[in-house]
Amino acid sequence: MTPDEVLAIGRHALEVTLLLAAPLLLVALAVGLLVGVFQAATQINEMTLSFIPKLFAMAVALMLAGPWMLKLIVGYTRELFESIPGMLR
């Protein structure tokens, strides 16, 4: 196995990781921003106020994006396992 192949596998793993994390992180960012604007408008400075909306939004995002995320990680794992014989030359 050449160093180029190792780098390609590592790059692909990082791409899959970013794709898996992006939906949840973007939902948390959007909800946090909305709660922050709400807190600034109402002058409510409660630190725990953003936790519950983020928790519910992340649960909804996971329910919506979960099947896609599972398909992505299973596809990557299957591709990686199928490429093992080619790596052992």
Write out pLDDT tens, residues 29-81. 999 999 999 998 998 888 888 889 999 999 999 999 999 999 999 999 999 99
Cβ pair 45, 39 in contact under 8 A = yes
pTM for this prediction: 0.81
What is the end-to-end Cα distance of the chain in Å, rounded? 7
Supply the pLDDT for residue 70.
97
Supply the pLDDT for residue 21.
96
Cβ pair 9, 82 in contact under 8 A = no
Report the pLDDT averaged over residues 5-31.
Answer: 95
